[in-house]
Structure 1
Amino acid sequence: MSTQGEADASPLDAVAHLLVTPENPPRDIDGMDSERCIALHNAIFLHGWINSGRAAEDFDAQSQTWFGFYGEGDSERFHPSLRAFLHEARVLLPSDYNTPKFFYHVSGLNESADLCMWTNDPEIWDEQDVDRFPTLYATYPTFAGKCDGLVYDQHTHRAIMHFDITDDLLLYPEQPWQKLESVLSVWIEMIQREKVIALHDSVDQDQGWPHDAERDLLDVERLDGEQTPWTMAPWSAIDLKQTLEVWQMAVEMIEQKMGLNGDGSTQTITSNNNTPDDGLIHAVALDLAEIPDGFAHNFLRRARRPRFTFIAPGLRCPSVEDIAIQPFIESRQQNPEDLTNPEPEKVSPILLFRADAIVSSTEGLNGWYQGPYEHTRDFPSGLYLDPCNRGHDMPFEDGCRLILPFEFDRFEDEWAKQSDGSRAEGRDTLYQSGKNPYNYPHAVQLQAFLENVYHNVQSGYWNVDAHGVAGGVEKWKEADSQDHWAQYWVELGPGRYW
């Protein structure tokens, strides 16, 4: 791959036409789309190389192809299309601990000795499948006690992130295996959105990535050298901007359906307000409620006020009074351990859209209800922004979770689904991803939930009345029906959500 004279060009811009999107899906071919995957792989590697402060023209000299480095000895194990990929995909010669790694989730293409680490398990694979599932990219101990990585199926030519070798690895469609070009496209999207960031070598671990108020960028810390030069931001300016835009669309659609604009038009009100008085909640009220500076604070301060009460069935738009009563912020304040060991990088769950029904039991909550929050009882149902540890390995400050006052019973209709097609059980897994084939597990982003609101109102599936979206919180039970489950489901994938 020639890089001479391209120091000022963006490697990711050069492969923009190859990214998988709803309009540019994977090609239907026999095997891996090697040329597409080679270009996407090498562009990610070169982007990290350049952004860490290295010269583009040095990349070819200090890297090799996989076969160039490891040799042809095991090539008979590989499908011809995978072999073609390994003949052109670059690896870096390991020089020291700070050698740039491939990406945030994976260090690079696996070493030759580890590439086919999935040996035959008679309970899962047939004898002829011993070389079927190479772990193509290796992940880090940061993510798992017994590391695996991106596993590739040489029969279906699909891949899936599988962080721990001890976790179940099930064949498609039990798990949502994806084309390799789709996985690489998602990783490039994360870089383009400044969710995943390659830091310059001059940024030391204590300094972080400088805060930029104009672009809504937080200080982003450098992680331990294991993932050099990559780090992850809790949220980005694009996350915020697009969430505000979808909120604006949903609000305008509801108001239009309510007939609030006599001529059938919608109001033209910017969704990127700059003064506290323009938004849902005044900045002073947010500070009094101890909503920390970050995604929630910015969203609530800038999202335009609607002229109705209910943004979704039974879920109220936030008011000053509602925002002031945050059950899990209060629980942290009352927790003696948290008072003696404060961790300011931890953001508590924030109740965004409140429902009147109260949740009085921890049953039916799938791992969300823990840590300093497990002592809270009798809290409101509704849509919460998930707790976020900004210093954690997978921070998503805009991740949200709908907590319902009833459970979906796993033994009844079984129509309510997560994005991977698995059962949405309990009270808090509706709209969630289940097995995420691209990323470490995290809560679905608020933008995806609001987009679902918009489409359900636009299509007329959700009715509106004088108070906004009608139906009450019981409406969500329709998610567990054969006729309506698809109205309560978020699709993950390139060009959408991940």
Structure 2
Amino acid sequence: MMRARMKPNSRAANWAGVRDAVLGLLLLVAIKLSAIALDHGCARYVTLIEFMIDSDDQSGITPRPQAAKNWHPYRDMAESNVPQERLDVDRCVYLHNHVVELGWAGRHRDVEPKEIPARPTTTWWEHWEGVEAEVGNLAYLQEVLTPDVVEFLHRAQMPADGLAFSYFLEGLASPQDMAEHLQSTYEMYEETRYLLLYMRTWTEDRLGVVFDMDTNLASYVDYWTFLNDELDSFPLELVLATYVGLVESGKFVALPQAEVDAIRENDYFGHSEYSSPWAMKPYGDKALNDTLDYFKKLLRAIWERMPADAKTAQAEQRMCQRLIHPEALADNPDVPNDSFLYNFLTCAPGCPFRYIAPGLECPTPENIAAFLEGPPWPPPPDPAKYSQGPSEHPILLFGSDEVIEDNVDGGGFYYVANSTLTGMRGGLYLNSQTHAWDGYQDGVRLVTPFPVGANGFARFGDNRAITDKPYRYGSQEGPARDPEAYTSLFQSGTNPFNDPHHTQLMVLLQFWILLVENGLWTVGPAGVEGGMDVFKMADDEDQWWRYTLMAATP
């Protein structure tokens, strides 16, 4: 039966309009959220580091570790030194201006929101075209720079007067500095290729972020002598996203001037006036939390592979306790309660086994107490000049019973002249908690009781060889051996984003988790087996890549 056609209902028509409007609004919201997610993902390119190994086939080995078959070092991380067709101007402008905005907001964090002055939005090009002395340099740059770089400079905003772009970077270089460095590199390389894009803070003899106009890649470079085709370089948007990530993770903080001054007065590392409003914290809250998470995962990975008869209830109970109770460290001047060491030891779970890595023992209340009573190394030669407090020197976190018997210089380890590593225990050492020269209290170094590198296969993360060489310092007589071959495993080397620093504990723990999970380290009743001799594989022709970190660690 045919149904009669009904007269359109005005109310129904209105609801249809509302529906269409709502759907349209939802679509716009979805697009906006997608853009935000993309921006946020870019900002976390480097902060969310996760190694992945496919254990099905690990036979393929190529000259560089990041190219080893089935070895995927960083999720969401572009491979280094892959030329880009062009500069992503929109993305780079957004990230650059976002860093400038973060610095402005931090500088005025003590001001009521309604009273915060408007941030200056003058672009780099607008600023310098008003400076008569730079007109000629701008004309030269307009001629030799790629159109994408020129557009970026036309849109990238300047930090307010007196404010640095980031902790390690004063900001975009001046036209004169850009022009002079382009001309000097032309004399060196016979091509106008390397542009000094961002200038380093507080020093005149060092560079900053250098942009390669042939490959559209960028890298943080200390000196021109380090400028070569083997330098680890990445798209500029990844470099800029790293700086956003370091702010989000709490490592870099923008502060009012009074707070920056207070940090500068009390911080051994020293914060230059040229870095304002930025300060670098000894460790970020996110880094501490990630370290604790990866430590728990490593304990669990080892525990799951232990023989059943070794998994006693008493051992399992240790994982429900802390490495050390806060009361044991109360009022201990050698372990400040705001230090990374204190927070790691009092928050991390206890170990249900003895060995957390080949030959390296887990921290226990007993060996921590023994360390605090007397560091396991020969004292520096001048006690009157250098304090002997444990927190002022590297701290043995995962110790070994093996010691260095060779005559090895210790100056590069303790940063104390005429010191030695001879007699020092092998193990994983945490940076000084008061005098961390690189500003990373969570930085670590593995000290091996034997040299690594004589075979020529051991590598830093930047692919530079770890060398076993005689000690040389001018004509000065000293120890027979240089410390590099004893202290450089699992170190990144140069850093494509910032000043180099020791590998963070959280990064190393991630690496060790994979070595356990993929069976490269065997597990027995007492934990990881093998002794420290296992680390000699780092200098083996077939195994070296398994012990090489990547350079791209912010």
- Which category describes the TM-score, using the shorter chain as reference length? 0.7 to 0.9
What's the counterpart of residue 3 of structure 1? none
Secondary structure in structure 2 of the residue aligned to 1:137: strand
Give the match for residue 89 of structure 2: 34
Number of the residue aligned with 1:187? 243
Which amino acid is 1:250 matched to? L
Aligned mates of 1:182, 1:204 — CA distance in 2: 28
Q: Is the 8 A contact 1:198 1:229 kept in 2?
A: yes
Task: Give the one of 400, 405, 420 matched to 2:462.
Answer: 420
Q: CA deviation at 1:35?
A: 1.1
Query: Where in structure 2 are the equivalents of 1:161-180 lying within 5 Å?
Result: 161-165=220-224, 168-172=225-229, 174-180=230-236
Give the Å deviation of 1:320. Answer: 2.9
Change (3 A) 1:409 1:330: closer
What is the aligned counterpart of 2:289 among 241, 264, 274? 241
Deviation, structure 1 residue 93: 5.7
Partner of 2:194: 133
How many angstroms apart in 2 are the aligned matches of 1:473 and 1:450?
17
Per-residue deviation, 1:482: 2.8
Cα deviations by residue, 1:13-58 (Å, 9 ceiling, x for unpaired) = 8931443623375997412111111111000001101111187772
Q: Residue by residue, what CA displacement relative to the aligned partner does 1:82-135 show, whole Å, maximum 9, x if unpaired?
A: 1121121111463xxxx22111011110111111333566998432x1x31111
Tell whether the 8 Å contact from 2:87 to 2:149 is kept in structure 1 after alignment. yes
Q: CA deviation at 1:360?
A: 3.4
1:477-496 matches, within 5 Å, as 477-493=536-552
One-letter amino acid of the structure 1 residue matched with residue 291 of structure 2: T
User: In structure 2, what is the Cα distance between the partners aligned to 1:205 and 1:233?
Assistant: 14
User: Which residue of structure 1 lines up, in the alignment, with residue 303 of structure 2?
Assistant: 255
Residue from 165, 168, 172 that aligns with 1:109: 172
Match of 2:126 among 52, 59, 68: 68
**Distance across 2 between alignment mates of 1:399 and 1:35:** 35
Name the SS for the 2:180 alignment partner. Answer: coil
Matched residues in 2 for 1:368 and 1:308: separation? 30
Structure 1 position 118 matched with structure 2 position 181? yes
Tell me, in whole angstroms, the C-alpha distance in 1 between the residues paired with 2:223 and 2:83: 30
Q: Quick one: which of 440, 443, 446 aligns to 2:505?
A: 446
In structure 1, what is the Cα distance between the partners aligned to 2:199 and 2:243?
Answer: 15
Aligned AA (2:325): H
Does residue 1:292 correspond to 2:336, yes or no?
yes
Letter in structure 1 aligned against 2:251: K
Select 1:197's aligned residue among 224, 231, 253.
253
Distance 1:182 1:162 in 2: 15
Contact 2:186 2:193 in 1 (8 A): no
Report if the CA contact (8 A) 2:107-2:254 is conserved: yes
The one-letter code matched in structure 2 to 1:67 is W
Q: Could you tell me which residue of structure 2 aligns to residue 23 of structure 1?
A: 76
C-alpha contact 1:247 1:450 (8 A) present in aligned 2: yes
| Corresponding position of 1:43 | 98
Aligned partner of 2:357 in structure 1 is: 312
TM-score (norm 1): 0.80
Instruction: Report matched runs for 1:377-392 at 5 Å.
Output: 377-387=422-432, 389=434
1:359-438 superposed matches below 5 A: 359-361=404-406, 363=408, 367-371=412-416, 374=419, 377-387=422-432, 389=434, 394-410=438-454, 412=455, 414-425=456-467, 426-438=485-497
In 1, Cα distance between equivalents of 2:441 and 2:286: 13
Q: 1:79 to 1:388 in 2, by over 3 A?
A: farther
What's the RMSD between the two structures over aligned residues? 3.6
Q: CA deviation at 1:197?
A: 0.4
Match of 2:384 among 336, 341, 347: 336
Q: 1:462 aligns with which of 521, 524, 527?
A: 521
Aligned letter for 1:109? L
The verdict on how the C-alpha distance between 1:334 and 1:321 changes in structure 2, with shifts beyond 3 A counting, is farther
Q: Which structure shows the bigger proportion of residues in helix conformation?
A: 2
Any conservation in 1 of the 2:406–2:422 contact (CA below 8 Å)? Answer: yes
| Aligned 8 A contact 1:161 1:436 in 2 | yes
Seen in structure 2, the aligned counterparts of structure 1 residues 69 and 25 have a Cα distance that, compared at 3 Å, is same
Shift of 1:463: 0.6
Residues 132, 145 of structure 1: CA spacing in aligned structure 2 closer, same or farther, 3 A cutoff?
A: same
SS at match of 1:191: helix
| Counterpart secondary structure, 2:335 | coil
1:136 touches 1:149 (CA, 8 Å); kept in 2?
yes
- Provide the rounded CA distance (Å) in 2 between the counterparts of 1:353 and 1:24: 30
How far residue 347 of structure 1 moved from its aligned partner, in angstroms, is: 3.2
Q: Distance in 1 between matches of 2:407 and 2:431?
A: 16
Question: Where do 5+ consecutive residues of structure 1 fail to align?
Answer: 1-10, 210-217
Instruction: Calculate percent identity across the aligned residue pairs.
Output: 26
**Corresponding residue of 1:212:** none
C-alpha contact (below 8 Å) 1:106/1:139 kept by paired residues: yes
2:220 and 2:411 map into 1 onto residues whose CA distance is 21
The aligned counterpart of 2:7 is: none
d(CA) in 2 for partners of 1:107, 1:81:
22
Separation of aligned partners in 2, 1:231 and 1:145: 20
Q: Is the 8 A contact 1:388 1:395 kept in 2?
A: no
* Separation in 1, partners of 2:385, 2:306: 49
Q: Tell me whether 1:58 sits opposite 2:118 in the alignment.
A: yes
Instruction: Output the amino acid matched with 1:33.
Output: D
Residue 359 to residue 24, structure 1, CA distance change in 2 (3 Å): closer
Cα deviation 1:407-433 (Å, max 9, x = unaligned) = 1234x2x22211111112311111111
Equivalent residue for 1:7? none
2:278 to 230, 233, 239: 230
Letter in 1 for 2:461: S
Partner SS for 2:97: helix
CA distance in structure 2 between the partners assigned to 1:438 and 1:121 by the alignment = 23
Shift in CA distance, 14/452, structure 1 to aligned 2, threshold 3 Å: closer
1:136 offset after TM fit, Å?
0.5
Determine the C-alpha separation between the residues in 2 that align with 1:453 and 1:124. Answer: 46
Q: Taking structure 1 as reference, are residues 208 and 451 closer, same or farther at Cα in structure 2, changes over 3 Å only?
A: same
Return closer, same or farther for 1:100/1:338 CA change in 2, 3 Å cut-off. Answer: same
2:322 alignment partner in structure 1: 279
In 2: Cα distance, 1:366 partner to 1:151 partner? 31
Instruction: Give the residue type in structure 2 aligned to 1:283.
Output: P
Specify the code of the residue in structure 2 equivalent to 1:116: A
Per-residue CA distance 1:160-216 (angstroms, 9 max, x = gap): 212345xx12323x221222112111111110111000002453623789xxxxxxx
